[in-house]
Structure 1
Amino acid sequence: MQASMLNFRVMKMKNLYIACIAATLSIGFTGCSKPEDGPLERITEDYAFDSTDKNGRYAEMYLNDIYSVLPDGFNRIDGNFLDAATDDAISSQAGTGIDIFTKGFLSVSNNPDDAWSKNYEGIRKVNFFLNKIDIVPVSDAIKNTWKAEARFLRAMFYFELLKRYGGIPLIADEVLNPDNRTNFSRGSFEECVNYIVSECDAIKDAVQKDPVPSTDYGRISNGSVLALKSRTLLYAASPLYNGGNIGGSAAQQRLQGYASFDKERWNRAAIAANELIAGSAGKFALLSSANFKANQVFLSRRNSEVILAHLGADNKDLETNNGPVGYSNPNLASGRTNPTQNLVDAFPAANGRPISEAASLYNEQDPYSNRDPRLAQTVLFNGAEWLKRPIETFEGGKDKPNNTTRQTTTGYYLRKFLGNFETASQYGNSPHNYPIFRYADILLSYAEARNEYLEAPDASVYQVLYDLRLRAGIAKGNQSGYSFGLKNVLTKEEMRQAIHNERRIELAFEEHRFWDLRRWKMAKDALNQPLTGIKITKGASALSFEKVKVTDIAFADPKMYFYPIPDSEILKNSNLVQNSGW
């Protein structure tokens, strides 16, 4: 591993052109052959695995290319965050692919998040790599590490498919080619979960140990493997899958979850999360409150909280896509992502109490004062400092001029992930690394699973929320019966609500809300309601604030709990059973 993962991941592959790409499970593949001569830009896949390449240069580049299939959540759905398909945000641009979700138009032939081809292409590349790597004369130690990395990537791709479609075809180590057109059947949900977990167990000691050297930052590590195992088991234990089947035929039901509820699944999820937590000393930890407030979780290339990220080159794409619109070149932005009032109201007051219970701190006509500091780190609201002036989202303000369609629809703009440009004159290049796994998520996964397994939350569950709130800047307080805004004695149901809300605000815009509402089986209610914003009117001496309905969101219950298998795949493979309702 002679060069940094960052350099590999952001470099253009000048010396290697991957000519053969698999689009689907059942499509035939173009044959690849090693050219006798010609420019390196025309090298085929087989050429990457060369018995004379003693350093494994091309093979490693091939592996690095597979990393590009990992999730990247920034503005990826027709220019929008996936969160704009939830109750947390609205796209300022009408008529984009995200509307297919928000209007309930998802179909077998129209899915803006069609992950089927992408992830099976990744799986095929992994299998090709595993099939060919032994040809390359690198040391066994390097080769075994690369194999383990590839197996993790394959398991990750299967999980990305599982959370969208339920049980999917498991093709083992088979490399699809024109001579092998097997029509695979879908594995059951349980079989797919067991496979992903077994792969994680098999490779967790074969990948690099944390903390990885700086030259290899971004590569798969032991923490990445344990995080995938934790997330897989958390989903498997959740209400949608854990005996909460949405119906359909017997064949469909085995693809969409377990036949009956088993509380022990929550215990397995808690144990898996705790395995990572217990071994995190010197490896992973929540950032200090000061570093967290300085946005270092998302802006520092490497920090103790990010377990695995999709690394990207420094740029200003997020700012120009999502920043406020009231600036001219070179700071012109599209204001694409507009957080909702629904999300803003989920952030508690500065003492940690819900705003509905914090009358002494929360004022509807001064709604952004005395709030959880994470609100200002997530949302740009009226009066927030940005590029050397306060944001103006009052009616007729610079950032809501009402003379263009390119402006906020809710009175808010996205702040999270953007560089620290409060006092800057213009946007500059910043690190933008999409967090696939971070430590706060693992802590919350443990708290959720532990709470669901017990009859009442124990001290370890409370501690997770205390730690996150302390790090965010919420004081413990001296109010009798409360700590960090939480009652000292919560029922299981009350703690569940607290954890759900903590996930919502701590992990906002990290593509959790979309999936959490589904796995909790709460999308039917949360995604069939009005989405609200704020209307701010500037008077002679003061601003007035009014919550207003912006639009409705629709969720076709129950079929939208799962994506439909693409119709193109069903037509090509008669063994694929479609999900119920499609």
Structure 2
Amino acid sequence: MRNLKIYYIIIFCALLTGCKKDFLDVVPDNVATIENSFTSRNEAEKYLYTCYSYLPQESDINSNPAFLAGDEFWTYWPIPAGNPLPSNPQQIARGNQNVSNPYLNYWDGAVGGKPLWAAIRDCNIFLDNISKVPDLDPSLRDRWAAEVKFLKAYYHFYLLRAYGPIPIVEKNLPISASIDEVKVMRQPVDKVVNFIVGLLDSAAINLPSSILNRASELGRITKPAALAIKARVLVTAASPLFNGNSDFAQLRNADGTQLFNANKDVEKWKRAAAACKEAIDASESAGVALYEFNELVTVSSRTKLEMNIRNSMADQWSSELIWGFSNGAGSFIQGWAMPKLDPNKLANDSFKGELAPTIRTAELFYTDKGVPINEDKTWDYVNRNNLRTATTADQDYLQNGYTTVGLHFNREPRFYADMGFDGSIWYMQNGTWKVQAKSGQTQSRKGANGYSLTGYFAKKLVNWKFVILQDYGFTQQVYAWPMIRLADVYLMYAEALNEVNGPSTEAYTYINKVRKRAGLRTVEDSWLNFSNNPGKYLTQDGLREIIQQETSIEFAFEGHNFWDLRRWKKASEVLNNQVYGWDIDQADAVNYYRRKPLFSQKFVAPRDYFWPISEGSLIVNRNLVQNIGW
């Protein structure tokens, strides 16, 4: 009894570490409450929703590092008084991540992060008790258990992606567990991946192929969602950050267990390719298809193409969604992205247009020939920063007679669909608007808040039915945030095929499906006829570069770029550069279109590829080892 009492004291002290209960909590405590939660179907369903409630809200710029912790977007610093822009992700972008109180801490559930170990513990509680519910139909019980297995797998994956090798919490420990049992260790990456994949495979067996009760269940997990996330897990595990990464070869547990396999293994790419094809087949069989705009409105072919692109993610429930997050997704982010389009409603300060893409992001998109701007032999890359005046030939994309910069001419449809900028056109259900952002113009800076720091706006994030009200507020069509969509799996499949056998007809086929929807020629046609490197698509290295850029363009502003740069081990190359915007406080084109340095980023490799584990967690559990560099 005395030892047990000491144990409780130790656990209690651990709970108080940092004045929060967000540590690696594997011992259930509220036993009486747990027992009550499984006395009926209604109570058990509440617990099911508790397991869902931990999902990181990917559309939230406060908690998703992929928005403001990289360089795809940039915004004010220091943040003006009274402005609700989050500082935590920007601290990471500015190189200020730390070990004492890490920003966006998903390990402990602090400083903007959710407590994902607590999420896993609640998932385990659900799985341990769901069979006790007396009035639950067996088929529904199996489905709910499958959903929670998926969530448990996803929470492990989220932690793996952010922290690298992590503990595996297969079962919660009993109250009688010893102190040594509580102090779990990190497990090798390959073991963690296999555990996650095993959970997803098990979950997929009892998940529905699609949601039939759309009124109440959209956003719930389906078999295609489980298989698509499995594909993403295996593609991530096969990528250079986790596959043969010698930078982390010295990361070991205290007992000598090596946590990274430093030997590259092409079998991981084969496994990933098979998972992608399985996910594609399951998704297409369930009716998932690349989005096409079919609203009953008369629009030009150019506008229809733009709406195909924008609404692939911003439609209320896009046909392309394999898994959409419906809990408030696509809501506040529209206000952050939307500029003051209507010159008659400038007093309405409830939307900001502050989520500002950088010039690097603008340069990432292809030319209208479907190749990078520095490869297109028909496009004037050297003079891209020189001024040009739009003519009637450009008027589908630019304002006729308006002077802007060469960078904005003859670009691919996704550039105009995804981005708003000075001289651009912005189509909405209630009209077509002109964006004019130089000082004194409608979309320019008019005070300390409510403007784009770079001169660009994230049009893609705004649903076309967004309506600005006269005095305050707006109406919007809230859309499900695309956790994963069909184009994602297509491009992952092409990537995996290329890594296994190099360029192939099948790899081209799946890239070209995405390019066709974007209004582009095939990879083969574009590079052969317009690139100054026409043979690039015929080599494995060249096609890898093409697929990576295609991925970055197709999923611009959706939260991919931040994680993709890491898994490809390109973050240290891309995020060690100057961040640029236009000189937005200037009234004339000559001075406005000067590249203005906003910040010089520093990404320390290999340290910054993973989050640090907080010092408090390391003190509580001496068996945890810190990530390299922290």
Which TM-score band applies after superposition, normalised by the shorter structure? 0.7 to 0.9
Amino acid at match of 2:364: A
For the residues of structure 1 that align with 2:222 and 2:478, how far apart are their CA atoms?
21
2:119 matched to 1:122? yes
- Comparing 21-30 and 393-402, the one that deviates more: 21-30
2:579 matched to 1:531? yes
Give 1:385 deviation, angstroms. Answer: 4.0
The answer on whether the counterparts of 1:242 and 1:262 sit within 8 Å (CA) in structure 2 is: yes
Structure 1 counterpart of 2:24 = 25
2:191 matched to 1:191? yes
Give 1:229 deviation, angstroms. Answer: 1.2
- Comparing 311-320 and 550-559, the one that deviates more: 311-320
Structure 1 counterpart of 2:600 = 552
Structure 1 counterpart of 2:289 = 285
**Cα pair distance change 1:316/1:522, threshold 3 Å:** closer
The answer on whether the counterparts of 2:37 and 2:47 sit within 8 Å (CA) in structure 1 is: yes
- Comparing 96-105 and 484-493, the one that deviates more: 484-493
Q: Secondary structure at the match of 1:128?
A: helix
CA root-mean-square deviation: 3.0
The answer on whether the counterparts of 1:123 and 1:157 sit within 8 Å (CA) in structure 2 is: yes
Structure 1 counterpart of 2:274 = 271
Count of matched residue pairs: 545
Residue in structure 2 matching 1:416, options 460, 474, 492:
460
For the residues of structure 1 that align with 2:434 and 2:46, how far apart are their CA atoms?
46
- Comparing 208-217 and 236-245, the one that deviates more: 208-217
Structure 2 counterpart of 1:572 = 620
Q: Secondary structure at the match of 1:281?
A: helix
Structure 2 counterpart of 1:383 = 423
**Cα pair distance change 1:478/1:440, threshold 3 Å:** closer
Amino acid at match of 1:342: R
Structure 1 counterpart of 2:51 = 66
Residues 71-106 of structure 1 show CA distances to partners (whole Å, capped at 9, x for unaligned) of 32223336x762322231112353511232122221
2:559 matched to 1:511? yes
Q: Secondary structure at the match of 2:324?
A: strand
**Cα pair distance change 1:340/1:47, threshold 3 Å:** same
**Cα pair distance change 1:71/1:57, threshold 3 Å:** same
Structure 1 counterpart of 2:436 = 392
Sequence identity (%): 29
For the residues of structure 2 that align with 1:167 and 1:301, how far apart are their CA atoms?
36
Residue in structure 1 matching 2:93, options 93, 102, 122:
102
Q: Secondary structure at the match of 2:121?
A: helix
2:242 matched to 1:241? yes
Residue in structure 2 matching 1:90, options 58, 64, 74:
74
For the residues of structure 2 that align with 1:200 and 1:471, how far apart are their CA atoms?
30
Structure 2 counterpart of 1:451 = 498
For the residues of structure 1 that align with 2:221 and 2:281, how far apart are their CA atoms?
19
The answer on whether the counterparts of 2:578 and 2:597 sit within 8 Å (CA) in structure 1 is: yes
Residues 282-329 of structure 1 show CA distances to partners (whole Å, capped at 9, x for unaligned) of 422211364872533233333331111210348852232332268534
**Cα pair distance change 1:75/1:475, threshold 3 Å:** same
Structure 1 counterpart of 2:262 = 259
For the residues of structure 1 that align with 2:99 and 2:526, how far apart are their CA atoms?
55
Structure 1 counterpart of 2:9 = none
**Cα pair distance change 1:30/1:402, threshold 3 Å:** same
Structure 1 unmatched runs, 5+? 1-20, 34-43
For the residues of structure 1 that align with 2:162 and 2:49, how far apart are their CA atoms?
25
Residues 482-506 of structure 1 show CA distances to partners (whole Å, capped at 9, x for unaligned) of 3797957521111111111111111
Residues 384-403 of structure 1 show CA distances to partners (whole Å, capped at 9, x for unaligned) of 34586422222443333364
Amino acid at match of 2:45: E
For the residues of structure 2 that align with 1:213 and 1:526, how far apart are their CA atoms?
44
For the residues of structure 2 that align with 1:254 and 1:341, how far apart are their CA atoms?
44
Give 1:572 deviation, angstroms. Answer: 0.6
Q: Secondary structure at the match of 1:465?
A: helix
More helix by share: 2
The answer on whether the counterparts of 2:25 and 2:118 sit within 8 Å (CA) in structure 1 is: no
For the residues of structure 2 that align with 1:315 and 1:275, how far apart are their CA atoms?
29
**Cα pair distance change 1:531/1:49, threshold 3 Å:** same
Q: Secondary structure at the match of 2:595?
A: strand
Give 1:255 deviation, angstroms. Answer: 6.1
Structure 1 counterpart of 2:320 = 305
Amino acid at match of 1:553: Q
Residues 186-224 of structure 1 show CA distances to partners (whole Å, capped at 9, x for unaligned) of 111111011011112222111112365425322111111
For the residues of structure 2 that align with 1:255 and 1:442, how far apart are their CA atoms?
31
Amino acid at match of 2:198: S
- Comparing 411-420 and 232-241, the one that deviates more: 411-420
The answer on whether the counterparts of 1:476 and 1:484 sit within 8 Å (CA) in structure 2 is: no
**Cα pair distance change 1:212/1:236, threshold 3 Å:** farther
For the residues of structure 2 that align with 1:524 and 1:308, how far apart are their CA atoms?
31
**Cα pair distance change 1:314/1:222, threshold 3 Å:** closer
Structure 2 unmatched runs, 5+? 1-19, 80-86, 109-114, 294-303, 386-404
For the residues of structure 2 that align with 1:422 and 1:129, how far apart are their CA atoms?
39
Amino acid at match of 2:118: E
TM-score by length of structure 2 reads: 0.79
Amino acid at match of 2:443: D
Q: Secondary structure at the match of 2:460?
A: coil
Structure 1 counterpart of 2:12 = none
Give 1:178 deviation, angstroms. Answer: 8.7
Amino acid at match of 1:416: K
**Cα pair distance change 1:468/1:175, threshold 3 Å:** same
For the residues of structure 2 that align with 1:422 and 1:206, how far apart are their CA atoms?
38
Structure 2 counterpart of 1:374 = 414
Give 1:428 deviation, angstroms. Answer: 0.7
The answer on whether the counterparts of 1:22 and 1:29 sit within 8 Å (CA) in structure 2 is: no
Give 1:147 deviation, angstroms. Answer: 0.8
For the residues of structure 1 that align with 2:524 and 2:221, how far apart are their CA atoms?
44
Give 1:450 deviation, angstroms. Answer: 1.0
Amino acid at match of 1:526: V
Residue in structure 1 matching 2:366, options 345, 348, 359:
348
Q: Secondary structure at the match of 1:64?
A: helix
Amino acid at match of 1:379: M
For the residues of structure 1 that align with 2:526 and 2:483, how far apart are their CA atoms?
39
The answer on whether the counterparts of 2:508 and 2:523 sit within 8 Å (CA) in structure 1 is: no
**Cα pair distance change 1:484/1:441, threshold 3 Å:** farther
The answer on whether the counterparts of 2:57 and 2:329 sit within 8 Å (CA) in structure 1 is: no
2:479 matched to 1:435? no
The answer on whether the counterparts of 1:475 and 1:484 sit within 8 Å (CA) in structure 2 is: no
For the residues of structure 2 that align with 1:68 and 1:297, how far apart are their CA atoms?
26
Residues 469-524 of structure 1 show CA distances to partners (whole Å, capped at 9, x for unaligned) of 11012245997863797957521111111111111111112222111111111111
Residues 134-176 of structure 1 show CA distances to partners (whole Å, capped at 9, x for unaligned) of 2212111111111111111000000001111112111212156
